[in-house]
Amino acid sequence: MLKEKSPHLSEYFEELLNAISDGILISDGEGIALWINQACLNFINRSKEEIVGKSSKELERMGIFNPSVTSMVLEERTMVSSVQLTETKRKFMVSGHPIKNEKGQIELVITQSRDITGIVRTTSKLEEMQMLLKKYSREIMEIKRKSHNEESGDFFIGKSKAYVSMANLMEKAAFVDTTILITGETGVGKSEIAARIHQLSERSKETMVEINCGALPESLIESELFGYKKGAFTGASKDGKKGLIAQADGGTLFLDEIGELPIQLQAKLLQFLQQKKYTPIGDTRTYTADVRIITATNRNLQQLVTEGKFRSDLYYRLNVLPMKVPSLRERQEDIFGLLQMNLKKFNKKHGRQCKLTPEALQLLRSYPWPGNIRELENLVERLVITAPTYEITPTQLSTHLYDSQELPFNHFQLEKGQSLTEKLEEIEQKIIEQAYEKCQTTRKTADELGISQSLLMRRLKKYQLTRK
């Protein structure tokens, strides 16, 4: 039948196609099977008589070919590739090719199939192995996390929604090897976050190098980052200098206060990020370094881009994985634990047994903490050192919390006949009043204070506060 349809085929046609290991099925323009080679018959464990003469739809209904690539080719009128499952539960990669006449009509459909059952099985095993490796990696990361907590005084504690979300992202960031931009207010612990990501990452055995872009003069930052060749400039070391990028090769480079990086150096940093290549000052050779870049800032980089002070292409290259560290105002539930943890740490450091009274704790929980965790740590250590007794009371807090210029009332001592609740409400009213005057809208004020807008509205009504 095939020779009648296609008389141009050579007499060696069957011998040639039976010699190859791929399965071959040839059908006419209606999908009727005309010929099938021995390899294909072996794949499906059927005889030629069971296949030849049947339509592709019929063979599909019988479960011999599922799906029928021949039918797909006839429907789409173009070449089609698909994974096919046979009734023997074996998987094949099948490609179907239409043979058209001068009028564009399909006369023949030739399908070529290759058994991929073994490959799929091997791939599945590899996927299982990868899942196990990820599981073990997470367990190792957890061990590292606990070990780091013990070493760092358990800096990373919290149960607030804002903290848990950030902590989850932090651990995911450690598992991948991409550029990270950490943002957040002063004192939230951006450098500690960067160190944690490095210690949990696969680069933890290598060095993490840190530079504060705002702490060095512009003339020194380039030589610190990229290094210089001997004699590159007047005053340069006769032996030259190895830059921080070279020192961090294989590890992590943390660029703190990235918003302070001079505009003329931003192009050079961008080139390194894109190509992993750099040129030291005074050198003509290009060097490569395998370095992960983590940056941090408390400035609005998008605003700096608008003002022309920060390159937009560098901003987008740094902002591959953004991570915002919440302020303590957004972590109200965590303040008690942080206070107790730092109190324990500094009591041990200074050989004391100080404790906060319930009234002092309540006062500290309502404090806005403009300096965030750094301010909290410094305050607790100062209180432990200076407290005249082992009990830290609200009276002792009065000289440490607020500057008289920041808050328009003198101290936290209770007035005659005044209760603690009344004093706390007085403090709360002043804080909300100042924030409302600063932010002008209830939404921005609520964000500033780390509370919901509905709670702020209730407090404004309670204290009869209006915007001046």
Position 1 scores a pLDDT of 46
CB 225 within 8 A of CB 265: yes
For the chain, the farthest-separated pair of C-alpha atoms sits apart, in whole angstroms, at: 116
Residue 397's pLDDT band (cuts 50, 70, 90): confident
Greater model confidence, 296 or 404:
296
- For 75, half-sphere exposure in the C-beta direction (CA atoms, 13 angstrom radius) is 9
For residue 75, being part of any structural domain is answered with: yes
Average pLDDT of the chain is: 82
Residue-wise DSSP of 24-38: EEEEETTSBEEEE-H
* Spatial separation of the C-alpha atoms in residues 35 and 111, rounded to whole Å: 11
- Domain boundary (152, 169, 199) is at 152
Tell me the per-residue pLDDT of 118-139, one tens digit each, with 9 for 90 and over: 665 655 555 555 555 555 555 5
pLDDT in tens, 93-103: 888 999 988 88
Is residue 210 in some structural domain? Answer: yes
**172 residue type, one letter:** K
What confidence category does residue 269 fall into, taking pLDDT thresholds of 50, 70 and 90?
Answer: very high
Name the percent of the chain lying above pLDDT 70.
82
Same domain? 200 vs 78? no
Tell me if 327 sits within 8 A of 288, measured CB to CB: no
Is beta strand 33-36 parallel, antiparallel or unpaired with respect to 355-356? unpaired
Quote the tokens at residue 118.
Answer: 């073994």
Q: Has residue 353 been placed in a domain?
A: yes
Q: Which of 89, 32, 38 is nearest to 57 (CA)?
A: 32
CATH number where 23 lies: 3.30.450.20
What angle, 0 to 180 degrees and rounded to 10, lies between the N-to-C axes of helices 161-175 and 117-152?
Answer: 120
Q: Are residues 214 and 321 in the same domain?
A: yes
Does 67 reside within a domain? yes
Domain boundary among 87, 115, 143: 115
DSSP letter (8 states) at residue 215: T
pLDDT tens string 356-389:
988 888 888 888 888 888 889 989 998 998 888 8
Q: How confident is the model at residue 402 (pLDDT cuts 50, 70, 90)?
A: low
pLDDT value for 420: 74
pLDDT band at 464 (very low <50, low <70, confident <90, very high): confident
CATH of the domain at 383: 1.10.8.60
Same domain, 6 and 35: yes
CB-based contact 74:66 (threshold 8 Å): no
Residues 186 and 271 grouped into a single domain = yes
The reported pTM is: 0.57
pLDDT of residue 140: 53
Domain check: are 188 and 296 in the same one?
A: yes
pLDDT at position 125, please? 56
Rounded CA-CA distance 240/227 in Å is: 8
Indicate whether 187 belongs to any domain. yes
Question: For residue 335, is pLDDT > 80?
Answer: yes
Tell me the residue type at 104: G
Neighbours of 123 (CB within 10 A): 11
Residue 363: inside a domain: no
Which residue type sits at 421? T
Identity at 56, one-letter amino acid code: S
pLDDT tens per residue, range 186-200: 889 899 999 999 988
142 and 205 both lie in a single domain: no
- Kindly state whether residues 313 and 169 are assigned to the same domain: yes
Domain containing residue 315: 159-326
Q: Which residue has the higher pLDDT, 415 or 172?
A: 172
| Whether 377 contacts 410, CB under 8 Å | no
pLDDT value for 235: 58
**Last residue of a domain, which of 136, 152, 168?**
152
User: Is the same domain home to 295 and 218?
Assistant: yes
pLDDT, tens digit (0-9, with 9 covering 90-100), for 133-171:
555 555 555 555 555 554 444 567 888 899 989 988 998
> Does residue 352 share a domain with residue 319?
no
Mean pLDDT of 9-32: 80
Q: Which contiguous run of DSSP H or E holds residue 455?
A: helix 453-463
Could you tell me if residue 210 is left (phi over 0), alpha (psi between -120 and 50 degrees) or otherwise beta? Answer: beta
Number of domains in the chain: 5
Q: How confident is the model at residue 254 (pLDDT cuts 50, 70, 90)?
A: very high
Structural element, H or E, at residue 360 = helix 358-366
What's the confidence (pLDDT) of residue 153? 45
Q: Are 117 and 141 in contact (CB under 8 A)?
A: no
Q: How confident is the model at residue 295 (pLDDT cuts 50, 70, 90)?
A: very high
Phi, psi of 108 (to 5 degrees): -135, 155
Residues 194, 90, single domain; the answer is no
Q: Is the domain of 398 the same as that of 448?
A: no
Task: Please state the rounded mean pLDDT for residues 171-175.
Answer: 86
Could you tell me if residue 190 is inside a domain?
yes
Residue with structure tokens 């204290």?
Answer: 463
Q: Do 295 and 171 belong to one domain? A: yes
For 386, residues 6+ apart whose C-beta sits below 8 A from its C-beta are 396
Kindly state the percentage of the chain with pLDDT values over 90: 28
Mean pLDDT lowest among 28-32, 150-154, 388-392, 438-442 = 150-154
**Residue 346: inside a domain:** yes
